[in-house]
């Protein structure tokens, strides 16, 4: 399993860098949509759908929503005069509200499982609110300042990925060495409060170091550090939400398309929460 994980990472890492830094905007948007739709296929299993036809129907629904958003907000016009289109920002505000609800559901599991366990509709809505804002966030970040500096948006995406990865690494080592108090044993038995704290601290350190080398004004460092705390916390909620749904339907992994890593959702679960909230924070800070 470890060998598979390493080999898969060796292949995926350069492909991810190529996607983020070197693909044209339109192609980037298309590939991001493909990744999200693969996630939608896996999410359909959380909904209790088993046939290829029914699961494909949910993917088609997601594709239709993404298509409408792409028609309404072409990736080249998401930013106007340095500001994100207001109605696009509403999507991120809605996503933030959803992640507050998701936090409540995760903390109250299994007591409140009935709230989304009555039928497939609520799980479908949860899937849309989890995955569609991720696609939009990636587009927003990638297209930021694109006309002035093509790599600027790519750097933003790498920052949010750095927050997620550093939080994950910090949580692993802090939990392994200091973890004594279970975070949410009903959802994910191995996660600890100490691991969560360690992950948040590591993410903040990453952002401060980035600000130093990127020569960001020091007066902005505390603001970015506070934002990073919230983004890192919600990235943990994204991970826990997927764990909750997998536990409810008896799945170990969301899929098997990435050898040693499970499915697409197993790799992007934290990003589903972190990216929209990061995009919301960024859109807010550029107006300062």
Confidence of residue 280 (pLDDT cuts 50, 70, 90): very high
From CA 125, how far away is CA 89, in angstroms rounded? 19
pLDDT digits (tens, 9 = 90+) for 98-142: 999 999 989 888 887 766 666 688 889 999 999 999 999 999 999
Contact 55, 44 (CB under 8 A): yes
**Who wins on pLDDT, 238 or 10?**
238
User: Which residue shows structure tokens 């550093």?
Assistant: 166
pLDDT digits (tens, 9 = 90+) for 182-229: 999 888 888 999 999 999 999 999 999 999 999 999 999 999 999 999
From CA 161, how far away is CA 177, in angstroms rounded? 24
Copy the structure tokens of residue 12: 């995926």
Copy the structure tokens of residue 56: 């494909």
For residue 192, list its beta bridge partners.
182
pLDDT digits (tens, 9 = 90+) for 261-278: 568 898 899 999 999 999
Residues 47-59, mean pLDDT to the nearest whole number: 92
pTM more than 0.85: yes
With 60 as the cut, is the pLDDT of residue 4 above it? no
**Who wins on pLDDT, 56 or 253?**
56
């Amino acid at each position: 399993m470890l060998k598979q994980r390493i080999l898969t990472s060796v292949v995926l890492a350069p492909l991810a860098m190529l996607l983020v830094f070197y693909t044209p905007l339109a192609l980037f948007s298309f590939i991001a949509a493909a990744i999200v739709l693969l996630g939608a296929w896996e999410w359909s299993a959380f909904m209790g759908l088993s046939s290829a036809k029914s699961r494909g129907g949910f993917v088609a629904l997601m594709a239709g929503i993404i298509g409408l958003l792409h028609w309404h907000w072409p990736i080249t016009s998401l930013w106007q005069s340095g500001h994100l289109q207001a109605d696009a920002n509403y999507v991120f505000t809605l996503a933030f509200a959803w992640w507050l609800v998701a936090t409540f559901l995760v903390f109250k599991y299994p007591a409140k499982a009935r709230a989304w366990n009555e039928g497939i509709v609520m799980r479908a809505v949860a899937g849309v609110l989890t995955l569609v804002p991720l696609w939009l966030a990636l587009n927003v970040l990638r297209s930021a300042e694109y006309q002035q500096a093509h790599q600027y948006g790519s750097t933003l995406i790498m920052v949010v990925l750095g927050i997620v990865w550093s939080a994950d690494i910090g949580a692993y080592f802090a939990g392994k060495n200091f973890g004594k108090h279970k975070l949410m044993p009903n959802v994910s038995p191995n996660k600890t409060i100490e691991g969560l704290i360690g992950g948040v601290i590591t993410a903040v350190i990453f952002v401060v170091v980035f600000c130093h080398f990127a020569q960001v004004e020091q007066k902005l460092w505390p603001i970015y550090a506070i934002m990073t705390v919230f983004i890192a916390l919600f990235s943990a909620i994204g991970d826990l939400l997927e764990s909750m749904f997998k536990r409810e339907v008896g799945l170990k992994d969301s899929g098997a398309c990435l050898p040693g890593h499970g499915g697409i959702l197993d790799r992007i679960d934290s990003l589903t929460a972190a990216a929209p909230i990061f995009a919301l924070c960024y859109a807010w800070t550029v107006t300062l």
